[in-house]
Amino acid sequence: MKKLSKLALVALLAGAAINAQAQVKFKITRKDDLKTYVVSMLPEQTLKGAKNTIGTAQVTLRVKSDKAFILNNLKSANQEAEWQTGAAMKSPDGAGDYDYVSINLKNVGTKAFTFTEGQEVELFSFQNAGEQLDANVELIDNSNDELIKTHGAEFNVKNHISVLGFGHRNAYSGNAGSLMNPEEVAKKLRIQKVFPNPAVDRTTVVYENLLDETAGDLFLTIIDSRSSRELVRKKVKMGAGEFSIDLSLEDLTEGSYLVHIEKDGLRIGSAQKLMVVK
């Protein structure tokens, strides 16, 4: 009997260890109005019953200090799980380029959320009431954030979520990106117009970027429609918003050209036709 009890205990502990390995990712998504953000979680394992109980949770945001970010209209996605603003720091020592604000789960021990593997669950939303809509609010990463590296033991800013089914530990495993297929990218990153067109020696390209990304390379290119050769290439801003970029056409001969927008080496969406006259 004792042997069977020991085996049962070993099996129980093994099951708990497996559950403890499965964790939760956080995700932030910016809406098309550029000021509304949604924070959600992505469980890496399905939990049922009491195992989906959340003990405590904290999400910490950061934004460049020069963007004058103002947190406004914080809304909880579930009435049974209320989120509230926690600590806020402006240009803290060790991470002076950023402002930080933490959002904490008010209801300890809530079962308001479901945990289904790979299924995104909205936690809360908020708006940026500041005037600079190109401000990019992002989640901190516990593994490499400057403030955590320099003052991790001093300030409680780490992303955190404790879930009964994942063991007595921080189940946060990182941040999930917004994975979009090329068609979805083309809806959020596009050339709006090229003017003057026809043009002589200069033209202006207006493009809109609604992607919630700051990393990566973004280029405007001009292609000869006859030879398909790239003749003009200019790196442009990756931030969100509408931008106008002047391109020189002095080295182009009279003819028909195509203007493309390119992200990380891939041409996105449809090209705009451009006529050059001399």
Q: What would the mean pLDDT of 87-116 be, rounded to a whole number? A: 94
Q: pLDDT (tens digit, 9 = 90+) per residue, 171-201?
A: 999 998 754 556 677 888 999 999 999 999 9
- Give residue for tokens 């050769």: 229
> The domain containing residue 203 runs over which residues?
182-276
Q: pTM (2 decimals)?
A: 0.65
pLDDT-above-70 percentage for the chain: 86
Cα diameter, the chain: 96
Q: pLDDT (tens digit, 9 = 90+) per residue, 63-94?
A: 999 889 999 999 999 999 999 999 999 999 98
52: Cβ–Cβ under 8 A, 6 or more apart, which residues?
111, 113, 114, 115, 163, 164, 165
How does residue 18 score in pLDDT terms, banded at 50, 70 and 90? very low
Residue at 257 is within a domain: yes
CATH code where residue 197 lies: 2.60.40.1930
70 and 189, same structural domain? no
- Determine the pLDDT at residue 33: 77
150 and 27, same structural domain? yes
Total residue count of the chain as it appears in this document: 278
Residue at 116 is within a domain: yes
124 and 107, same structural domain? yes
Residue at 46 is within a domain: yes
Instruction: Check pLDDT > 60 for residue 113.
Output: yes
Pairwise CA distance, residues 175 & 143, whole Å: 11
Structural tokens at position 16: 């708990």
189 and 144, same structural domain? no
191 and 154, same structural domain? no
Among 175, 200, 222, identify where a domain stops: 175
- Determine the pLDDT at residue 45: 92
- Determine the pLDDT at residue 268: 86
233 and 104, same structural domain? no
Contact 263, 270 (CB under 8 A): no
How many CB atoms neighbour CB 148 within 10 A? 20
One-letter amino acid at 124 equals F
Q: Which residue did the predictor score with more confidence, 254 or 167?
A: 254
Contact 218, 208 (CB under 8 A): no
How does residue 14 score in pLDDT terms, banded at 50, 70 and 90? very low
189 and 154, same structural domain? no
Q: pLDDT (tens digit, 9 = 90+) per residue, 202-231?
A: 999 999 998 866 666 789 999 999 888 889
- Name the range with the highest mean pLDDT among 29-38, 77-86, 124-133, 171-180: 77-86
Contact 241, 133 (CB under 8 A): yes
- Determine the pLDDT at residue 84: 97
| Pick from 26-30, 32-36, 54-58, 231-235: least confident | 32-36
Among 151, 175, 199, identify where a domain stops: 175
Instruction: Check pLDDT > 90 for residue 38.
Output: yes
Among 150, 175, 200, identify where a domain stops: 175
Beta bridge partners of 59: 103
226 and 90, same structural domain? no
| Pick from 63-67, 98-102, 216-220, 251-255: least confident | 216-220
Sheet holding 230-235, edge to edge: 230-235, 218-224, 255-263, 266-276
260: Cβ–Cβ under 8 A, 6 or more apart, which residues?
191, 220, 221, 222, 223, 267, 268, 271
DSSP H or E run through 269 = strand 266-276
